[in-house]
Structure 1
Amino acid sequence: MEYYPTSVEHILAELERIDLLIRVQVWRMQHIQSSDNELQGLLISEQEIEELLRQPIGLPRWANIPTPLSSIEVQTALEGMTADIAQRQTGSIQKGIKLRLHELVCHFQLTPLDRDTLLICLAPELDLGYERLYAYLQDDVRKKRPSVDLVLNLLCADFKSKLSARQRFLPTAPLLKHQLLHLFDDSSQQQPPLLSKYLKVDERVVNYLLGNDELDTRLLPYAKYTWPQVKLEDLLLPLEIKERLGLLALEKQIIKTRLIFYFQGTYGVAKHTTAEAFCQELGIGLLTVELERLLSAKLREFETIIALAYREAVLQSAAIYFEGFDALLASDKAAWRLALLHQVQEMQLLTFLAGNTIWEPSNAQSDLTFLRVEFPLLTAAQRVELWTRFIGEQGIAPLQDLANKFRFSGGQIRDAAATARNLACWQDPTQGQITINNLIAACRLQSNRQLSEMARKITPRYKWSDIILPDEQKNTIQELCNYVKYRSLVYDEWGFEKKLSLGKGLNILFAGPPGTGKTMAAEVVAGELELDLYKIDLSAVVSKYIGETEKHLSRIFQEAETSNAILFFDEADALFGKRTEVSDAHDRYANLEVSYLLQRMEEYDGVVILATNFRKNMDEAFVRRLHFTLDFPLPDEKHRRHIWQNLWPDAIPRSAELDLDFMARRFEIPGGNIRNIVLAAAFLAADDGGVVQMCHLVRATRREYQKMGKVLMEGEFGEYMGHL
């Protein structure tokens, strides 16, 4: 059986058939043209007017002019060419040769008239000689593109069939609906009738038919095409999900069904990779569209891009994946969401929608299959496996510690591993060996940076040796650090994850007078765990407008979920204070804020530290939900002496006569005030000899007490009273 070796040869054979139709009409046109009329096409003669009045409605002047071949001979020739093309087309398909015109017809359900219209409009893209032929047949040298009227005259034998064929040029018909063709007006005519409009093949369709598979240029800012390489069996997913996807993939007809997946999960949980793996099982490509980049587009432009994306997926024989679908769930994006879902329901194409939040479609068509797949976070063992996969063997213990501290998704681990390699290359350009410090720094860099918009990042500078507390408090701080270190062991490996639905995070209360070390302890914890510490800015959270505070808190906790950071609420009683009896609307909404905080703290899986100077002001419901409550007492003389000694930097010049024992014994103040006195004394010394003397400490102490609103009698300075 003969066949077409290439897709272009098939198109050229089809154009030969179109050429015969054009030749017949050219013969007829030649019969009525005056060879000596130089103004032909520019002037309407009286004879031509008479002929126009006599001819039947809807038919060209040359419709009934005889040709060298009879109508039967022309029809016979056309049928012979059509049969030969069909036979060769079958032969090519049997040999696995892709005939793009045939696939275009099948994919978009084009009729023979649609196909021939496309060919008539494609001809000038291959040979500019067709422009002159079309101008000749339309009796106007300016009309180089085929009009709807010319196409109908070439393809329709009578007025009745021509009238029926007009329906193929409506916006809802395949040629225009899928933007295979474009209608455009003559610039010299205002609001022309449909028959006067011109037709042009879309540039991407021309490129496709000629063998080019590059994306439509209008899609380049928003979409990318990939041929999947990953397999389902390689994914770190629950076995149940992989098995169900595998069974679906075995049904090869799934490609032709209206199957819609909604992949729900945070960034990096393998939503896109799973879609790739599913497409790999089916042997098709994947076209990914970034919806968030389209949010700024006007609705009409958005609809156009989505339609082009679906057309591209059809041309590429690919499934389509919409990343960031939940960005369209906002109330002000309802029209955009409906426009997308309209395309989703209308196109018979395997579609993936991906987002972070739960979503179910409403008013979905009955013949549409919607499957929501929720992607869980990785277990600690899976995180270790991924770290090993991305960076190689770095020692099991460091990787386990890394997996415990940073509850990353697969995508975040991949990104952090790449960042670690870059950091290692910068530190050691010759070897570039990744260290555990590179990995920790990379994890911090990959943590969500948007939290800094609502909180201030604190770089931990204090270590265990810097904090002076009773042994009981120090031991408690070590316990809560261990809580984070061994969280994966207890919850994942020992099974407590299944026993608890909420309250799997770590909520801590630091309570005590100002200056007793609460903030310092938070820094020590962050430094020990090598996690970022964010101090929540209450001024950016609390709002006088009803509902705004909850909205700000929701955003903080949402961002913190992916930041792997410690949230530090200083002066926490301003937010976590006791609920009051409801006497007016303000009380009701104030209590709602507290109740909302209770709910969010139970749902949050990270570390939250609350610090307050007044524990009695805290709502009891909060205290009940805390894992650790740590009271910071005022330091006794022994601890004050340690504080006085530890606050001095090694480089500062100090007199040997400094009596720190006297300072610790005489002034019962917390560490924060001692720090202020030491710093003030250093500045006084800098302006007075450059060595810290006892006189500087005495003067600084007096000023600190004045700032505190307390009065010191001169006698309290004892033998150092002369330094005042």
Structure 2
Amino acid sequence: MSRDEAAPRRPARSCGLAPAPLAPWPTDLAYVHAELDWIAARALRLGLENRATGGRRARHDEDADPRTLERRLLVARERETEVRTALDARLEVHRATGFELALDRLVRLHGLDDLERTVLLLSAGPCVSRHFEKLYGDFEGEEQECLTVDAIFAFAELPFAERVVRRASFGPRGRVVTADLVDLSHRGRFSPPKDLLSTEITIRGRALAYMLGERGLGDELAAVASVETALASFERLVLPAADKERILRVVEGHERYLATRTAWGLDDVVAYGRGTLLLFHGAPGTGKTMAAHAVAQRLGKRVLHVDIPVRARTRTRVGSSRGLFREARLQDALLFFDECETLFEARSRATP
């Protein structure tokens, strides 16, 4: 036996470093970037599976070799699982800090489910890189390279029965549609229900900007509105006791009103009318603005203050009524129309 063979063996030492502890994402942009990495990995896997089953012709000569395609598909599956597992672990760490991601906030405010959350992420992809359009075309199995309802169903790998049910998510009463988060467009004449699958989905600019961390007002909206902290309180509000009590009854009864709507099933048949409208009138200096701020403070909200005369002169799309209500929800603010006489002087101006 040689000296080397007789000598006791030392245990092997690992020179690897311990993995760094997971940290929350520093920005909303960093989080969305991570989600798009997963979307790219999943889309690549779906595209390869589509080619392997003959659903789409190979883009490259090497993909035509079944063995090569099988190896690429195996790597793609492992990559997708790895990216999603790491993302979910970090997402859990981030949410434990209590700092809400912009996308999480959109989901909460509009009551979106997992599929609708994925729709927002999928529609954000082409706004960042044209590469996503090619990926979507790959796994959808069609020549058009864009995000469609059919592509969303394919990405989510929904079974047939669920696809039938989820078609309503992209109809006029779908949450992502009524919340003004996405646009739906059709090529040529639209013939439902068949053409619904080919409906193209694009994310609204404001929704995308918010997802990426731009939580302030856009330049156009900032020209006609401002977000203010509610400083006044009902204790400081100088009003006759009867008037103050009437305002408080309306404010405090709003939660009961919403609960009653749900209990009676009205939410299922009436999509509007969940808000509360208060119309304050009086001479300048009588406390209309202060009363609005007191209501906002009571509700724990900020104030989205809209200057109606300036808005009437501007008339930009972002200043439309629908856009203003959407922005108030994003900002968790009470919507306050200042000097609203011009808004209601004619019925045609009430819902511009």
TM-score using structure 2 length: 0.67
Work out which of the residue numbers 313, 334, 342 in structure 2 matches 1:319: 334
1:306 paired residue number: 321
Residue number in structure 2 paired with 1:21: 42
Amino acid across the alignment from 1:322: F
- Residues 173/217 of structure 1: CA separation in 2 closer, same or farther (3 Å cut): farther
8 Å Cα contact 1:121-1:145 kept in structure 2: no
Q: Matched residues in 2 for 1:95 and 1:218: separation?
A: 34
| 1:272 has 2:274 as partner | no
Partners of 1:28 and 1:67 within 8 A in 2: no
Tell me, yes or no, if the aligned pair for 1:248 and 1:254 is still in contact at 8 Å.
no
Secondary structure at the aligned position of 1:98 is classed as coil
Shift of the alpha carbon at 1:28? 1.9
Deviations 1:655-712 (A, max 9, x none): xxxxxxxxxxxxxxxxxxxxxxxxxxxxxxxxxxxxxxxxxxxxxxxxxxxxxxxxxx
1:231, CA displacement in angstroms?
4.5
Letter in 1 for 2:285: G
Structure 2 portions without partners, runs of 5+:
1-20, 62-69, 259-273
Distance in 2 between residues matched to 1:304 and 1:280, nearest whole Å: 25
Whether the 8 Å contact between 1:219 and 1:308 is mirrored in structure 2 is: no
1:396-449 deviation per Cα after TM superposition (whole angstroms, max 9, x unaligned)? xxxxxxxxxxxxxxxxxxxxxxxxxxxxxxxxxxxxxxxxxxxxxxxxxxxxxx
1:312 Cα shift? 0.3
Deviations 1:66-117 (A, max 9, x none): 99459xx89x949x947973x6555544433121111111111112111111
- Higher-RCO chain (CA-CA 8 Å, sequence separation at least 6): 2
Instruction: Write the distance in 1 (CA, Å) between the matches of 2:307 and 2:275.
Output: 22
8 Å contact kept, 1:3–1:90: no
**Cα deviation, residue 130, structure 1:** 1.6
Q: Is the 8 A contact 1:289 1:321 kept in 2?
A: yes
Q: Post-superposition shift, 1:122?
A: 0.9
- Structure-1 residue corresponding to 2:280: 263
The match for 1:440 is: none
Supply the AA of the counterpart residue of 2:287: A
- Assess, with a 3 A threshold, how the Cα gap between structure 1 residues 260 and 252 changes in structure 2: closer, same or farther: closer
Once residues 229 and 278 of structure 2 are traced to their aligned partners in structure 1, the CA distance between those partners, rounded to angstroms, is 19
Given that 1:227 and 1:286 are in contact with CA atoms closer than 8 Å, whether structure 2 keeps it comes out as: yes
Rounded Cα–Cα distance in structure 1 between residues aligned with 2:74 and 2:58: 22
**Partner in structure 2 of residue 4 of structure 1:** 24
After TM superposition, give the deviation of residue 11 of structure 1 in Å. 3.1
Question: Which residue does the alignment assign to 2:216?
Answer: 214
Identity %: 22
Give the aligned partner of residue 226 of structure 2: 224
1: CA distance, partners of 2:289 / 2:228: 11
Q: 1:255 to 1:105 in 2, by over 3 A?
A: farther
> How far apart are residue 235 of structure 1 and its match?
4.4
Aligned 8 A contact 2:35 2:87 in 1? no
- Give per-residue Cα distances to partners, 1:369-422, cap 9 Å, x unaligned: xxxxxxxxxxxxxxxxxxxxxxxxxxxxxxxxxxxxxxxxxxxxxxxxxxxxxx
Q: Aligned pairs, how many?
A: 300
1:147 maps to: 148
- Distance (Å, rounded) in 2 between the aligned partners of 1:89 and 1:248: 39
Per-residue deviation at 1:36? Answer: 6.7
Partner of 2:113: 111
Indicate the residue corresponding to 1:198 in structure 2. 200
CA distance in 1, matches of 2:95, 2:140: 38
CA distance in 1, matches of 2:126, 2:59: 26
**Residue deviations 1:173-226 (CA, integer Å, cap 9, x gap):** 11111210112344xx45472322322111111111111123245545543322
Counterparts of 1:151 and 1:213, CA distance in 2? 27
Are 2:224 and 2:319, in contact at CA under 8 Å, matched by a contact in 1?
Answer: no
- 5+ residue gaps, structure 1, are 38-64, 341-724
TM-score (norm 1): 0.36
CA deviations over 1:17-54 (Å, ceiling 9, x no partner)? 433431221212343324578xxxxxxxxxxxxxxxxx
Structure 2 match to 1:161: 162
SS in 1 for 2:108: helix
1:97 maps to what in 2?
99
Per the alignment, residue 122 of structure 2 pairs with 120
Residues 445-475 of structure 1, C-alpha deviations (whole Å, 9 max, x = no match): xxxxxxxxxxxxxxxxxxxxxxxxxxxxxxx
Q: Which amino acid aligns with 1:270?
A: G
Asked whether the 8 Å contact 2:230–2:296 carries over to 1, the reply is yes
The answer as to whether partners of 1:263 and 1:271 remain within 8 angstroms in 2 is yes
Counterpart mapping for 1:125-136 below 5 A: 125-136=127-138
**SS of the residue 2:208 aligns to:** helix
2:182 alignment partner in structure 1 = 181
Helix, strand or coil for the counterpart of 2:286? Answer: coil
Residues 82/179 of structure 1: CA separation in 2 closer, same or farther (3 Å cut): farther
Written as runs of structure 1 = structure 2, the 5 A alignment for 1:700-715 is none
Q: Is the 8 A contact 2:325 2:335 kept in 1?
A: yes
Instruction: Check conservation: 1:228, 1:276, Cα contact below 8 A.
Output: yes
Q: Calculate the aligned-residue CA RMSD, in Å.
A: 4.3
SS in 1 for 2:183: strand
Distance 2:173 2:254 in 1: 30
Q: For 1:70-469, what aligned pairs fall within 5 Å after superposition?
A: 77=81, 81=84, 85=88, 89=91, 91-137=93-139, 143-186=144-187, 189-191=188-190, 193-216=195-218, 219-220=221-222, 222-238=224-240, 258-291=275-308, 305-327=320-342, 329-330=344-345, 332-333=346-347, 336-337=349-350, 339=351
Q: What amino acid is aligned across from residue 43 of structure 2 in structure 1?
A: I
